[in-house]
């Protein structure tokens, strides 16, 4: 695409991925429109904001871990630049993550996790129960040991979304609060985006960044349809005194085999998550999921029982067959993908934006992203 003329790029989906691409593409000189009936209110709104290439590494493979590590290294600059561009601080916190084990089976699983980290060349460190409580004094005395992961950080995802909207606005990104009915084209190229009020936009390129719905958008030729499925996540927001926090850093725990994370913010908020359930597009909040998460969080940090329950929410992660995102070109002219970020959308936003802007400029994908095109699914 030549970065000039009208409607260079339409981005379908205004979550953290679509908004990051929109801002970076506009900075690069493209004229960008984002279509989303409710921008910034999907999965990225309820996310915990963890930037966790290491503690998410146990359940995924090495290429995805490398992708996450590269994107994590981009975060300090990305956070500073989005703040400078918007005046909104996304509250990057680099105080690391502590993973703890609740019983002896959990401890064995954590020892295996440490072995996975070592095999991947990651510098995680084993901590005794006493060392865990030295870092986090309000941990339950039952905790049987832990692993300190210095490189897994967090941002405030909601502040980030506000910052991305602001940064895009300041670069003249046009926000269309409309649903996309379908893409138009002849099967080999996309030449239009039809909105729910009947208007048809005619950009040179469409970026499909519609999260869990990316496989459902009408008019996408079968050869370009991303294999994305919804994975429900239920999550809880608690609130406590900012000047007397229950935790100083993100704590993840295995409690009798179940995973829970607690992400403390400087304003006293603690985000507790998250369930994983494949039930189509159902996105209600199940009582049992909330009860289990809260029970496990309180088992690990008993003082959590005293916090105020502010919010329980559910959204749909965009899952893919190999848990990796789908980035860049498709066999259909004028259609790019930026979807399937599953549990790692916030983490992978900087690298995704870099990759998509490279493709828009006619350059090749960054080397780490090359393994994550649609082509890998055959
Ligand atoms: N990345 C955390 C989650 O998806 O729950």
> Is the Cβ atom of 345 under 6 angstroms away from ligand 1?
no
Give me the percent of the chain exceeding a pLDDT of 70: 97
Distances in Å between the Cα of 92 and the Cα atoms of 75, 78, 184 are 8, 10, 40
CB of 317 shorter than 6 A to ligand 1: yes
Residue 36, token pair as written in the block: 């989303």
CA 229 – ligand 1 centroid, Å: 15
Nearest residue by C-alpha to atom 4 in ligand 1: 343
Which band of pLDDT confidence, cut at 50, 70 and 90, is reported for residue 6? low
Computed over every residue of the chain, the mean pLDDT equals 95
Tokens of 5: 């003329």
Would you say residue 295 has pLDDT above 70?
Answer: yes
- Is 50 exceeded by the pLDDT of residue 121? yes
What pLDDT does residue 371 have?
Answer: 96
Mean pLDDT of 251-276: 97
| CA–CA separation, 232 and 281 (whole Å) | 8
Model pLDDT, residue 119 = 84
For 291-318, letters b (16+ CB in 10 Å) and e give ebbbebbbbbbebbeebeeeebebbbbb
Is it the case that residue 4 has pLDDT exceeding 60?
no
Ligand 1 atom with the shortest distance to the CA of 317: 4
| CA–centroid distance, residue 274 to ligand 1 (Å) | 6
Q: Which atom of ligand 1 is nearest to the CA of 274?
A: 5
Q: Is 319 in the pocket of ligand 1 (CB under 6 A)?
A: no
**What pLDDT is attached to residue 1?**
56
Does the pLDDT value for residue 24 go beyond 80? yes
């Amino acid at each position: 695409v030549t970065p000039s003329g009208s409607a260079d790029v339409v981005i379908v989906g205004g979550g953290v991925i679509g908004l990051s691409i929109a801002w970076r593409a506009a900075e690069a000189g493209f004229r960008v429109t984002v279509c989303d009936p409710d921008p910034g209110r999907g999965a990225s709104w309820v996310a915990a904001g963890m930037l966790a290439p290491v503690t998410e590494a146990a359940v995924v493979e090495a290429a995805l871990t490398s992708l996450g590590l590269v994107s994590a290294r981009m975060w300090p600059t990305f956070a500073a630049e989005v703040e400078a561009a918007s005046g909104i601080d996304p509250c990057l916190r680099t105080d690391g993550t502590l993973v703890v084990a609740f019983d002896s089976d959990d401890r064995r699983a954590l020892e295996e996790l440490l072995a996975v980290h070592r095999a991947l060349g990651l510098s995680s460190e084993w901590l005794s129960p006493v060392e865990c409580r030295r870092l986090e004094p309000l941990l339950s005395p039952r905790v049987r040991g832990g692993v300190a992961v210095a490189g897994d950080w967090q941002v405030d995802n909601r502040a980030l979304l506000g910052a991305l909207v602001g940064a895009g606005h300041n670069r003249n990104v046009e926000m269309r609060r409309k649903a996309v009915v379908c893409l138009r084209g002849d099967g080999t190229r996309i030449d239009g985006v039809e909105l729910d009020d009947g208007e048809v936009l005619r950009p040179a390129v469409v970026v499909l960044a519609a999260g869990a719905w990316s496989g459902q958008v009408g008019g996408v030729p079968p050869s370009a349809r991303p294999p994305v499925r919804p994975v429900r996540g239920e999550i809880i927001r608690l609130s406590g005194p900012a000047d007397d926090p229950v935790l100083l850093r993100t704590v993840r725990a295995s409690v009798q085999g179940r995973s829970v994370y607690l992400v403390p913010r400087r304003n006293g908020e603690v985000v507790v998550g998250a369930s994983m359930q494949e039930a189509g597009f159902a996105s209600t909040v199940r009582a049992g999921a909330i009860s289990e998460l809260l029970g496990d969080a309180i088992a690990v940090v008993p003082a959590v029982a005293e916090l105020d329950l502010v919010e329980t929410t559910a959204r749909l992660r965009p899952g893919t067959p190999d848990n990796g995102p789908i980035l860049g070109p498709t066999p259909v002219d004028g259609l790019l993908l930026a979807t399937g970020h599953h549990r790692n959308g916030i983490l992978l936003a900087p690298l995704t934006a870099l990759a998509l802007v490279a493709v828009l400029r006619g350059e090749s994908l960054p080397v780490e992203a090359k393994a994550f095109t649609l082509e890998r699914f055959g």
